[in-house]
Structure 1
Amino acid sequence: MKLFLRSLIGFVLALLAILPFIFLGLSLYDAFPNIYGILALGIISVLSLWMAYGIFNLIRKKGLLKILSYPFSSPDLDNLKKNKDE
């Protein structure tokens, strides 16, 4: 069950990571409807899929809370009373 929830959350976040890049690629294709637009759309799509796959694997292996916890957060907010007195 835990792996299923991690996979589901990873899939949703990977999809959210893909959407802006696909929009950018389609906008470039609309601006340049020739081979350059197709190449730009293809390159942006492949890079966004690669990034989304990395996000999916990271969340599936470690979990969302592990990624959002200590190493990526600010430890300065742990001791609010001590920081308040200084």
Structure 2
Amino acid sequence: MKLFFRTIIGFILAILAISPFIFIGLSLYDAFPNFYGIIALGIISILSLWIAYGIFKLIKGKGILKILSYPYASPDLDKIKQ
């Protein structure tokens, strides 16, 4: 059951990671509706899918709470006042 929830959360966060890149790619294609626009849209789409797959795999393997906990968080920002 835990793996099922991790898969759902990873899928949702992967979709959220893809959406801004696709918006930027479609905006570039709208600005340059020729061969260069198609190339830019393709590169941005592949990059966003690669990042989304990495996020999905990380969350499915470790879980969202482990990613947000100490080893992955920035401990330097916790000690601002010295």
Fold conserved (TM > 0.5)? yes
Structure 1 segment 5-84 matched on structure 2, within 5 A: 5-71=5-71, 72-74=73-75, 76=78
Q: Which runs of 5+ in 1 are unaligned?
A: 78-82
More helix as a share of residues:
1
Return the TM-score normalized by structure 1: 0.85
CA RMSD in angstroms, aligned pairs only: 1.6
Q: Which runs of 5+ in 2 are unaligned?
A: none
Larger Rg: 1
Compute the displacement of 1:74 (Å): 2.9
Aligned-residue identity in percent: 73
Runs of 4+ in 1 over 6 A off after TM superposition: none
- 1:41-79 CA distance string (max 9 Å, x none): 0000001001000000000000000000002143737xx
Return the TM-score normalized by structure 2: 0.89
